[in-house]
Amino acid sequence: MFLIIGVWGSRPHKTIAAYWFFFFTLAGSIFFLFAISIFYFSFGTTNLNIIMSFLHNGYSINLICSKLIWICLFVAFAVKIPLFPFHVWLPEAHVEAPTAGSVLLASLLLKLGGYGMLRFLLKLFPVLCIYFTPFIFTMCFLGVLYTSIIAIRQLDLKRLIAYSSVSHMNYVVLGLFCGNNYGIAGALQLMLSHGVVATALFILVGILYDRYGVRLITYYSGLTTTMPFFSLFFGFFIFSNAGFPMLSNFPGELLICANFLIHDLFFTLLILLGLYFTGIYSVWLLNRIVFGTLNTYTHNFIGIYCDLIRREFFVLSILSILNFLIGLYPNFFLRIFIKSIYVNQYLFALDLFL
């Protein structure tokens, strides 16, 4: 990713963005290495199964040492997801990366943080996860509100989608630390959906940038008259990003909100406020670039418009089918998530300790 951003990036600040990505990832890796070192000196091994057997058979380590391991692991995964306030590298990396780099970041690399939290934090330290839950929820709520408000005022298409991506990954962490299998299943569903929707949106923005060399929202207006197929796909994925029913983001967000509604009405209202802001910047973005009339100055600047070619239409059609299937048949994926080994191991460990 460092080479993809730094060598094949599309703008002059690509080197700065590549170093931001590198140093933030390196900082998280140092914390991760420190946690692994503590594991080794405490248990004499770094084998996860052996460590799990030690913990489940009553072997305990110092409480301060356990908290230190948890914090180190959490920081490493929070940088990768990324959580507020560790998110500052992601918008820069997305803006300067080529379309392929943004797709890799959104669809694959960001999910490693959620996987790490589920595999290590929730599996090894379920009681400490409960202990730190208020702190995590506070970070996530601040992250959702902050990134949603920042996304509203963005003029760069890619930066807006990048902040939207950070907001949705904060929802994922909220679901992971809900404390029950439905919240975790909703988080996994949202991660799967985000990989499809964010990928499609970055491809669509990349199509505009490759054709016209500009990503500023003010240059685009009335694309329905000049690029109807592009406008159709863009509207479809924007509504999915806003959590429209029967599309892929809706089941995961619904499960997360329902879990919070069971526990606390105030937290649920905060989540719904974040979703409200998501709807604002999503629908407003769609209205600004797809509808309206062509701007004369913009038309003279861009020149000849060109709709989707066959390759782009084929790729976006596959993503659209996946998006619709995930939203229309969420139970197929939810059964897999709820029955997955990591969710069951976490719930078993939680019941054992409590």
Between the two ends of the chain, the Cα-to-Cα distance in Å is 42
What number of H helices and E strands is found in the chain? 20, 0
Residue 1 DSSP one-character state: -
In angstroms, the CA 318 to CA 321 distance is 5
In angstroms, the CA 71 to CA 268 distance is 26
286: its two tokens: 């769609």
Environment class of 292 (CB within 10 Å of its CB; exposed 0-12, middle 13-18, buried 19+): middle
Query: Please, are residues 289 and 208 in contact by the beta-carbon 8 Å criterion?
Result: no
pLDDT of residue 230: 87
Q: Token match 């080197």: residue?
A: 15
| Residue 238, amino acid | I
Q: What angle do CA 304, 309, 314 make, to 5 degrees?
A: 155
pLDDT of residue 111: 87
pTM as predicted? 0.87
Residue 83 DSSP one-character state: P
Query: Please, are residues 120 and 349 in contact by the beta-carbon 8 Å criterion?
Result: no
Counting the structural domains of the chain, the total is 1
Q: What angle do CA 187, 189, 195 make, to 5 degrees?
A: 105
DSSP string, 10-24: SSTTHHHHHHHHHHH
φ/ψ (deg, to 5) at 263: -95, -45
Element holding 228 (H helix, E strand): helix 228-241
In angstroms, the CA 340 to CA 176 distance is 14
Query: Please, are residues 146 and 263 in contact by the beta-carbon 8 Å criterion?
Result: no
In angstroms, the CA 16 to CA 99 distance is 18
Q: Is 244 left (phi over 0), alpha (psi -120 to 50) or beta?
A: beta
Q: What angle do CA 188, 190, 193 make, to 5 degrees?
A: 110
Query: Please, are residues 273 and 280 in contact by the beta-carbon 8 Å criterion?
Result: no
pLDDT of residue 26: 92
Taken as a whole, the chain contains a residue count of 354
Handedness of CA 40, 44, 47, 53 (dihedral sign): negative
Host domain of residue 247: 2-353
In angstroms, the CA 151 to CA 94 distance is 14
| Residue 338, amino acid | I
Q: Token match 């379309």: residue?
A: 99
Query: Please, are residues 55 and 125 in contact by the beta-carbon 8 Å criterion?
Result: no
80: its two tokens: 């990768």
Per-residue pLDDT 10s for the chain (354 aa) are 888 888 888 777 888 888 888 999 899 899 999 988 988 888 888 888 788 777 777 677 777 888 888 999 999 999 988 888 888 888 888 888 888 888 888 888 888 888 888 888 888 888 888 888 888 888 888 888 888 888 888 888 888 888 888 888 888 898 888 877 778 888 888 888 888 999 999 999 888 888 887 788 888 877 888 888 988 999 999 999 888 888 888 888 888 888 887 777 787 888 888 888 888 888 888 888 888 777 656 655 666 777 888 888 999 999 999 998 888 888 887 777 666 645 555 554 454 444
In 3D, which of 133, 27, 110, 23 has the Cα closest to residue 72? 27
